[in-house]
A and B are shown apart, each in its own frame.
Chain A
């Protein structure tokens, strides 16, 4: 496997609904002090240029379509890194009425990087980890395969779907622990 992809990981950073602790650390890892550019990391701010999607904070009904749209506008091969425990699983906000869950409720996540807040070293480590997956995906693509068979997408359950009203539909399945109670409460509020 060559390393054409992994030598130039360009990232895009999106703040879901974090307390900003992880955002500060993600940006810190890109500053001269931690110098992520050593690995070729460039913060593009544009999904069409980016290879790695860094998401901080948990997913809720408001930002779920945004996360999905940004992800859909990134071109394969691409990777998603959930930065911080909220992005991984919802963290301490997991049971909050408005929190659906971690980023994997919206899009497939390739690398889970825990921490509250995440440490810059962890961010860089996660990016390097994601680089390996990028290379694997590229190899699969070049062989004519589907990049979705590699990384988080291979085992992803599809996350949650938003209903017509923009809220999580009650499915009865046990895979959206935080999302299930969210809908009725939020709907009530909307009334």
Chain B
């Protein structure tokens, strides 16, 4: 209890200190000591929590009353601050909203304060969710403050330099800035520990005003404009919050979260009235979480200094919104219209923001869209209101906090040292800022690659949507994930480039920045490695407490496997064990390369630099096209939900959604089974795959009326490649390629051992990422184009592959491939359309013509081989082996649709696999290479049409 007060009030001390002390050194001391104490206090709170378990804290009525008065006074002061700014900058809309909020606050205070004794005796609490948030805010938030100490020195120096050029002086507003950051932390602690909604609202408004002031930090016209956008949108939310509170009070309902939850279970006429406040509070949460149509404030917030963005995006501001929704999530299942609103708005935001992120080249805007997109997914999960989905949402919150703060801080430091936040300017970063770039790559991988937390959470979300039969969400997730993959993938590829001529420019990064960056990176790895513990120690108990049952989303063994892989990737990325002594060769530039890196002799005799820019598709995916459309749709959804509440009687809205929980638990075959499977796959798949390749080439030759190579030719090729002299353009590509091969084999092992097909698909995607890295790291224009195309191909086929797993789930209620053997009929009976979609994308996956975009292996095509351009000898052999393994694995996916509990079915499956491959060879020899556009359209088209066709019955089924 005392500790809780301390936690909330202590950040005010360094905040005050910042305002009082002068000089860099004194500020550093105050900041470091303050942050250190906050971090220590959060850890102590967490440790004590594990001793006592969740508890509510009693506050004496007198004290409670005084605190309520204080919070009301703070509300009024905040309104005054807003009104002052609105007056100063003559912003009419803000003035109007400010007046409305001021009147509302005062009216609410006069209503509630006399009746304060009615408020619960235990207005403060600490449960599992609060502890997660306290740790996230306390540790990540404090680290961002530490980072800001060094960052703001550079920022101020830059400002002063700019101002001096114009003959002016730059005012030093750093004390206020740093004070606001600490105040922010205090407000967040209030939000995550207050059961009393009045106090929570006070913290809520403090964060709004703090971020308003921080966004306007530079006082440029753009900053002021964006700050007002932020305050207007968030005040809308704030007013919705306030109206919700008034509604609760007027109808005699408790002004606490726990009270609302208790009341909702009563099933009385009064509890039915809860639907209105729930929807209003959710609306406030959606504005805070920057969901469409309110997302513009978060984009505008990018003008602020980077620590602001990091703080707003990762651990505090936006997380306050989703935190409130986590608390309300049990109510979404009881009041379906509210759940519908939150889920739909979240889902649409998730998908559209991910697509818009593809069109952005400004790193901070990409991060902003990614934040909006992820918060969308979190909201969508929470709106479902089932423990499975909430499980996924809480992990998304946790991992997003850590990974996103790391990324923001990395981009901030990079911007100060390479002078740009444009992703295109991050070419060769791997050599220019070696350590920072590795951390950035770790952060990016943490956001979207398989065994890292974010993707595991997405996996959980997919399982949850499948279990609750939420078809549309499955589709949105499948496409949104593919888009997410693409925009992160191309950034990662850009970063990975090794530039031997580059100068190391990270020597004068501030020590405080390194401390913050390294600690957060370590936290990210720690969270991923401790995933199983966090799940069983914090998240599951929370869900058991709130929902009364523990969800079973991802099996223990799968988690352990992922922990191992995360550790493996971290070692590959962060250590330098891969330094090889292969002789260096220059990149291939058609024989006209000069000694200067990436330069060639142009036709006019000049030296020209070969550069490769990323693909943005501004015309199709630009924010001007997608943004307004998304806003209109989301506005309509919110209005629809509000109108439902207003017109339809509340008692008719308060009925549980007809949701059927499907699903067996996912046993898999355990770590041992997967290990055996992997070994078996590693031994057999290359043999079978090579043979298939040989038959393929022989068959193609026959189709062209010639003899063709020997049957074992592919093996001869690999044997030869292994005997070539070693050489490499950099020390990285061979290691990346080895990782890709390993992950493909593990993916195959997972499948043949009868374990989770989703995990198998993720492994294949992970392998694709490493192929892209191997290829992009060479900085050869040919290889980079190949890498880009590889990413496009993955984005094209990804939805259909995820749907394949869903198709399996539909038929067997399990994601495990072994489940098919227990069925009385093959799953093709249930999932024929999805099977067709898989067949359609198989050509893309097998890199066969017409979709041999990134790589081709035709004997008489004189073309440079995309991704493989810079690979030679052993590296190329590894890639060939990987392709063989992939072929075998993909054909087994096809065969899986034809296996049931009859032993004969294995023969049927084999016949289908052979027939499928024959058709692939036929297609390969019939069609000329097509464009990436048709590849993309085909991949997404079939997934959308056949996926919906197959899944629709479930949607309808509930109502029949």
Contacts and interface: CB of A to CB of B under 8 A. Distances in A.
Interface in B863-890: 863-865, 868-873, 876
A27 interface: yes
A44 B865 contact: yes
A32 B727 contact: no
A140 to B, nearest CB: 12
A40 B716 contact: yes
B706 interface: yes
A43 interface: yes
Nearest to B726: A75
Interface in B568-597: 585-586, 588, 590-593
Given A14-B591, A40-B709, A75 B717 contact: no
Interface string A1-44: 00011011010011000000000000100111101011111111
Contacts of B66: none
A8 B720 CA distance: 7
B585 A73 contact: yes
Query: Which 8 pairs between the two chains have the least Cβ-Cβ distance?
Result: A66-B591, A7-B716, A8-B720, A35-B706, A48-B872, A76-B725, A32-B704, A70-B591
A38 B593 contact: no
7 contacts: A8-B721, A35-B708, A43-B859, A46-B865, A48-B588, A65-B592, A75-B724
A51 B716 CA distance: 13
B592 A66 contact: yes
Contact of B872 (A35, A39, A72, A75): A75
A17 B590 CA distance: 16
Contacts of B725: 75-77, 141
A104 interface: no
A124 to B, nearest CB: 13
- B-side interface size class: 35 or more
A158 interface: no
Nearest to B724: A75
A70 B716 CA distance: 24
Interface in A98-128: none
Given A40-B709, A76-B724, 6 more contacts: A7-B713, A35-B706, A38-B707, A40-B717, A66-B592, A77-B725
Most chain A CB within a 10 A radius of its CB, from B704, B709, B719, B876 = B709
B868 to A, nearest CB: 7
B708 A30 contact: no
A67 interface: yes
Nearest to A5: B720
Contacts of B876: 48-49
Contacts of A46: 588, 864-865, 868-869
A177 interface: no
B710 interface: yes
B860 to A, nearest CB: 4
A155 interface: no
A7 B706 contact: no
Nearest to B583: A75
A34 to B, nearest CB: 9
Interface in B676-698: 697
B16 interface: no
A66 B603 CA distance: 13
Contacts of A141: 725
Interface string A135-159: 0001001100000000000000000
A73 B724 contact: no
Interface in A52-105: 65-67, 69-70, 72-73, 75-77
B861 interface: yes
B862 A13 contact: yes
A45 B859 CA distance: 11
A13 B863 CA distance: 11
Given A67-B591, A69-B591, A4 B704 contact: no
Contact of B860 (A43, A72, A138, A142): A43
B701 interface: yes
A58 to B, nearest CB: 16
Most central of A35, A48, A138 by chain B CB within 10 Å? A48
Contacts of A27: 860, 862
A71 to B, nearest CB: 9
Contacts of B857: 42
A51 to B, nearest CB: 7
Nearest to A8: B720
A43 B861 contact: yes
Contacts of A47: 588, 591
A8 B591 contact: no
Contact of A51 (B592, B720, B860): B720
A14 B720 CA distance: 22
A149 to B, nearest CB: 15
Contacts of B723: 4-5, 77, 138, 142
A48 B871 CA distance: 7
B870 A48 contact: yes
A35 B719 contact: no
B705 interface: yes
Given A35-B708, A43-B862, A46-B864, A73 B717 contact: no
B707 A35 contact: yes
Which of A30, A47, A75, A141 neighbours the largest number of chain B CB atoms within 10 Å of its CB?
A75
A14 B590 CA distance: 10
B537 to A, nearest CB: 51
Contacts of B726: 75
A75 B859 contact: no
Nearest to A3: B716
B593 A69 contact: yes
A45 to B, nearest CB: 4
Given A32-B704, A44-B865, A77 B724 contact: yes
A67 B590 CA distance: 10
Contacts of A39: 709
B922 to A, nearest CB: 16
B743 to A, nearest CB: 24
A27 B873 CA distance: 25
Contacts of A67: 591
A69 B723 CA distance: 22
Contact of B720 (A7, A13, A69, A73): A7
A75 B727 contact: yes
B588 A31 contact: no
Interface centre among A14, A31, A73 (most CB of B within 10 A): A73
A47 B868 CA distance: 12
Tell which of A51, A69, A77 has the most Cβ of chain B within 10 Å: A69
Nearest to A69: B591
Contacts of B706: 32-33, 35, 37-38
Interface string B848-864: 00000000010111111
A45 B868 contact: no
A42 B591 CA distance: 20
A14 to B, nearest CB: 7
A15 to B, nearest CB: 11
A134 to B, nearest CB: 9
Contact of B717 (A8, A31, A43): A8
Contacts of B871: 48
A10 to B, nearest CB: 8
Given A5-B720, A14-B591, A38 B872 contact: no
Contacts of B593: 69
Given A37-B701, A51-B720, A75-B873, A45 B707 contact: no
A74 to B, nearest CB: 9
A159 B588 CA distance: 23
Contacts of B860: 27, 30-32, 37, 42-43
Contacts of A44: 865
A49 B861 contact: no
A41 B865 contact: no
A30 B723 CA distance: 25
Nearest to B861: A43
Contacts of A42: 717, 857, 859-860
A158 to B, nearest CB: 20
A89 to B, nearest CB: 22
Contacts of A142: 723
